[in-house]
Amino acid sequence: MKRAVILSGFGGQGVMSIGKNLVEAGVEEGLEASWVPSYGPEMRGGTANCTVILSDERIGAPLVEAPTEIVVMNRAALDKFEPTVTPGGTVFVNSSIVPDPVSRTDVKAVYVPCDDIANELGNPKVANMVMLGAYIGATKALKRETIESMIQTMFAEKAPQLIPLNLEALARGIACGEGT
């Protein structure tokens, strides 16, 4: 098993933290994992992206030319990374922000209205958790339970009241991903 994901969006949309969550969950499940942030002028504001690799073998190159999946949280990210996806791979689009459809026919498109769902749940900050759910639901790369217990641990001390909200956001995302 080897998955290489590029996650991209505006700074503040949580693409970096979705990437970190994938790595944490992957490590929890005994996989090898790596996370590389976008590195350069984009480090300060503007578009942010990171590359996550999950593998059951030692990871060589931590950057990829042809990701198995991309997660795009804004329009620029779709333009930039859609051409790179490996044929048969998946494009996750935050359809609340990106109106355009995926133009390629050799990849699977998963449209996730992350911000709309987050707003419905009453907290725009959980948009990234919706997207994480969609990724899990569509790829089955990681177990739902792993993410759920990660959320429990993550918020247990600092903000336990946010646990149900995040679990709900995750569930809505998973439903969205599974339905595709």
Partner 1 sequence: MKREIWKGSEAIAEAAIRAGCRGFFGYPITPQNEIPEYMSVRMPAAGGVFVQAESELAAINMVYGAAACGVRAMTSSSSPGVSLKQEGISYMAGAELPGVIVNVMRGGPGLGSIQPAQGDYYQATRGGGNGDYRTVVLAPASLQEAADLMFEAFDIADQYRNPVVVLVDGLIAQMMEPIVWKEHPGRPLPEKTWAADGRRGRAHNNFVTSLFMDAPDCEAHNLALLEKYKAIEANECRWEELMLDDAELVLVAYGTPSRVAQTAVEHLRSQNIKAGVFRPITLWPFPYARLREIAAQPQVKRFMAVEMSTGQMVDDVNLAVAGQKPVAFYGRCGGVIPHVSEIEGAVLAAWKEGL
Q: Does 56 bind partner 1 (CB under 8 A)?
A: no
Q: Binding segment for partner 1 among 23-31, 108-116, 127-135, 157-165 (CB under 8 A)?
A: 23-31
CA 109 to chain centre: 14
Strands (E), 69-171: 69-72, 90-94, 108-112
Q: Which of residues 126-145 bind partner 1 (CB under 8 A)?
A: none
Q: How many residues bind partner 1 (CB under 8 A)?
A: 20
Q: Binding segment for partner 1 among 59-67, 105-113, 118-126, 131-139 (CB under 8 A)?
A: 59-67
Return contacts of 88-93, CB within 8 angstroms, 24+ apart.
90/138, 90/139, 92/131, 92/134, 92/135, 92/138
Instruction: Kindly state the tokens that stand for 41.
Output: 């002028």
Q: Does 23 bind partner 1 (CB under 8 A)?
A: yes
Query: Which of 10, 17, 20, 144 lies at the binding interface for partner 1 (CB under 8 A)?
Result: 20
Q: Please tell me the distance from the alpha carbon of residue 102 to that of residue 79, in angstroms, as a whole number.
A: 9
Q: Does 32 bind partner 1 (CB under 8 A)?
A: yes
Cβ closer to partner 1: 63 or 156? 63
